[in-house]
Chain A
Amino acid sequence: MNSLKPFSLLKRIRERLDLQIALAILCLATAFLFVGGYLNYLRAQEQERTGVITMVREMVAVVEGNAAIAAYLQDLQLATEISAGLQSSRYISMVSIDIDGGGLVSTGAVQSGRSPDFVLELASPFSAAETVGSIKVYADLDYIEKLAASKGRSVVSGQLALLLLVSVAILWAVRVVVTRPLGSVVRQLKKINLSDEGSINQISTRSQDEIGYLADNINSMLSAIHAAYLSEAEQSRRIAQLERKFRLIFEGSHAGIVMVDGQNRLSLANQAFQSLVAHLDPHLDQQEPRPLSQLFYDPELVEGILSTVRENNASVFRDLKLAGEQEVWVRSLFSLIESQNSAEMGYIEVVFSDISDRALIEKHFEYGATHDQLTGLLNRRGGEARFRRQVEQAQSRAGSFVLCLIDLNDFKPVNDIYGHEAGDVVLKEISLRLKSALRADDVIVRWGGDEFVVSMLAQSSDAVDAVGRNLLSVFEQPVEIRPEVWVRVGGSIGIATSDRVGFSIERMVEAADEAMYIVKKGDKNSYQVFGDSVARSQSQA
């Protein structure tokens, strides 16, 4: 972790404006301090040195007259007094007065071999042209250096204090005026989530300066982007929905639909087409597109049709035979796709429907699975599917779903006495009568051996009596089972309505069964509505 610390510090500095400014000021201040401080130190030292030398010069000038007289008179006593007087100054370590032809007087001591800092030739007091001696002054360099150094230090420390003060003031000002408002704007920006459906928080700042202007602009930009984002999201949702629907049409279609590219190769084929040609093993899922014509018995004919479509820009309708052993005929509609996309120029759409026996057989299979072979009515399996559809319709229209269970009376004796053929005739006749008595939308199901179920949609349950009477009318006439032989069968009818039972098909059937059972126990040829106390109508037979 320790080795990471400098990195995280560096990262922190890169992310923080105030730290960067602080660092920049610190670096600049340090550089200024080193260079400027050194120069100032040298300057102060030099000033101090020059000042001291000037002072020494002035002091020597004061005694110059007397020294000249002493030299002129070769008066060593006077010269000694003068040199001692001068040397008593703190700035001077040694003074020597050299009298021409009269000797040397010196006071104080310095390192041997040192040259004097200041030499003054002494002229005779009575003849300026005549030199009578000289005065040599040796400054106290150590003391002067000490003085200069302390002066330099005091100057530099003053400047350092000032520089620090100014740096801190600038830092504070930058923090208050720039980084704090900027930081607040950045924090608010971080909180904003564009995918929020609701409105976006506005960025607020008290600054009236560039930061304020920035915040205002960000606000207007954000609201524009947010609006664009929302409308984009809405649009893409709509496109996705539309695409799903189109795909549903394309994939769920019973007709085979294909798209053929400019080289007459299969570009796209739906599920129906793929199952249509599945026995030819065409490998449609491969990357390399296959020519459409190869799937047909007469490829040249197909190629010809495609080029005709392209040339005439017209649709072509034709029955074609597929390749392969089996006799499979498809009815085909070729038409040119008009597209603005140049990549899809010359594409042709073909819609196929299977018109061969195979299709008919398949249809028959489906029919057989859901219909009763004897009567042609729906069987129990087919009926239940239709009930469900009716229940959905009733629910969506807020209407009623009515289900009636009809059990034939006296049917078993017919079977026993006249045989199964007679029974079948009765069932067929009753089926036909039910079909003609009811509306086309109503569902008629052969529920069991001698049981039928009829279901319908009604505006309200008031219609149940009409339904019951209508159903009873089916049993009014006797049935001719063979020429001149008539039998009479009756019906016990139980009726259930969704208003009382609810929309559960299972419950409806149970309820209708219960009601029917009441009729069966009573006077048989009548109808009973589930939930009513008494059988409503008597058989007219």
Chain B
Amino acid sequence: MNWMIKAVWILLAFSGSLYAGDILVVVSKDSPVDTITKRELVDLYMGRSHSLPDGSPVMKIDAPVDSPVRAEFYQALIGMKVSEVNAYWARLMFTGRATPPMSVTKPEDVAGLLARNPSALGYLPEDSENEQLKTIFVIKEDQGAP
């Protein structure tokens, strides 16, 4: 078993700041939404849709700007770096038609916000499951670049 532990350590050492592992798209357990497609997720986070598939309003929550999970989320979802996504929103700032997701300052705030707000939508690393939330979509680690 010794060699397996060694291998995990090596993997962790190589991943660096990048988060390695599945990302869970989650909502409050009181939310009417049980599932969501990847496309609907893209349209929500890139500003095309303003509501959930069932028509109910939604509050999109982003991980902190420099967190590894945020980078992994956008890379896996649309194949863009965080800086590119920032530039995209900056271009749309003047039209006022689309609004970017709300960004939290600390990673641990995401779970709290989601639990308290049934219309909120967010994402978390796979190891941060909790009974207040329900997972509606899983972004697999190997889904990296779409």
Residues from chain B with a CB closer than 8 A to the CB of A126 are 42, 46, 78-80
Contact A72 B95 (CB under 8 A): no
Residues from chain A with a CB closer than 8 A to the CB of B18 are none
A78 in contact with B78 given A69-B88, A73-B47 (CB within 8 Å): no
Tell me the smallest distance from the CB of B75 to a CB of chain A, in Å.
Answer: 12
With both beta carbons as reference points, the residue of chain A lying nearest to B38 in the complex is identified as A127
User: How many A residues face the partner with a CB closer than 8 A?
Assistant: 11
Tell me the smallest distance from the CB of A319 to a CB of chain B, in Å.
Answer: 154
A77 touches which one: B39, B88, B97, B146 (CB < 8 A)? B97
For the complex, what is the distance from the CA of A126 to the CA of B92, rounded to whole Å? Answer: 15
B48 touches which one: A66, A73, A77 (CB < 8 A)? A73
Task: Flag A59-99 by CB within 8 Å of B: 1 or 0 each.
Answer: 00000001001001111011000000000000000000000
B6 at the interface (CB under 8 A from A): no
For the complex, what is the distance from the CA of A72 to the CA of B95, rounded to whole Å? Answer: 14
Contact B95 A75 (CB under 8 A): yes
Interface of B is mostly: loop
Residue of B42, B48, B88, B146 ringed by the most chain A CB atoms within 10 A: B48
Contact B91 A66 (CB under 8 A): yes
A72 in contact with B97 given A66-B91, A126-B78 (CB within 8 Å): no
For the complex, what is the distance from the CA of A89 to the CA of B146, rounded to whole Å? Answer: 38
Residues from chain B with a CB closer than 8 A to the CB of A72 are 46, 48
Contact B95 A78 (CB under 8 A): yes
CB contacts under 8 Å to A, within B50-90, are 78-80, 88
For the complex, what is the distance from the CA of A125 to the CA of B80, rounded to whole Å? Answer: 10
Contact-size category for B: 10 to 19
Residues from chain A with a CB closer than 8 A to the CB of B88 are 69, 125
With both beta carbons as reference points, the residue of chain B lying nearest to A77 in the complex is identified as B95
For the complex, what is the distance from the CA of A66 to the CA of B88, rounded to whole Å? Answer: 10
Residues from chain A with a CB closer than 8 A to the CB of B79 are 126
For the complex, what is the distance from the CA of A428 to the CA of B47, rounded to whole Å? Answer: 181
Tell me the smallest distance from the CB of A370 to a CB of chain B, in Å.
Answer: 155
Residues from chain A with a CB closer than 8 A to the CB of B104 are none
B98 at the interface (CB under 8 A from A): yes
Tell me the smallest distance from the CB of B126 to a CB of chain A, in Å.
Answer: 24
For the complex, what is the distance from the CA of A73 to the CA of B100, rounded to whole Å? Answer: 12
For the complex, what is the distance from the CA of A125 to the CA of B92, rounded to whole Å? Answer: 13
Tell me the smallest distance from the CB of A81 to a CB of chain B, in Å.
Answer: 9
Tell me the smallest distance from the CB of A10 to a CB of chain B, in Å.
Answer: 80
Contact B42 A75 (CB under 8 A): no
For the complex, what is the distance from the CA of A69 to the CA of B78, rounded to whole Å? Answer: 14
Residues from chain A with a CB closer than 8 A to the CB of B91 are 66, 69
CB contacts under 8 Å to A, within B90-141, are 91-92, 95, 97-98
Residues from chain B with a CB closer than 8 A to the CB of A66 are 91
For the complex, what is the distance from the CA of A75 to the CA of B39, rounded to whole Å? Answer: 19
Contact B97 A73 (CB under 8 A): yes
Contact B98 A73 (CB under 8 A): yes
A74 in contact with B95 given A126-B42, A126-B78 (CB within 8 Å): no
Contact B48 A74 (CB under 8 A): yes
For the complex, what is the distance from the CA of A73 to the CA of B95, rounded to whole Å? Answer: 11
Tell me the smallest distance from the CB of A124 to a CB of chain B, in Å.
Answer: 9
For the complex, what is the distance from the CA of A74 to the CA of B46, rounded to whole Å? Answer: 12
10 interchain residue pairs of minimum CB distance: A126-B78, A75-B97, A78-B95, A77-B95, A73-B98, A75-B95, A126-B42, A73-B48, A73-B47, A72-B48
Identify 28 residue pairs between A and B in the complex whose beta-carbon atoms are under 8 Å apart, listed by A's number: A66-B91, A69-B88, A69-B91, A69-B92, A72-B46, A73-B47, A73-B48, A73-B92, A73-B95, A73-B97, A73-B98, A74-B48, A75-B92, A75-B95, A75-B97, A75-B98, A77-B95, A78-B92, A78-B97, A125-B46, A125-B88, A126-B42, A126-B46, A126-B78, A126-B80, A127-B39, A127-B42, A127-B146
Other than the known A73-B95, A74-B48, what 12 A-B pairs have Cβ atoms closer than 8 Å?
A66-B91, A73-B47, A73-B92, A75-B92, A75-B95, A77-B97, A78-B97, A126-B42, A126-B46, A126-B78, A127-B39, A127-B42
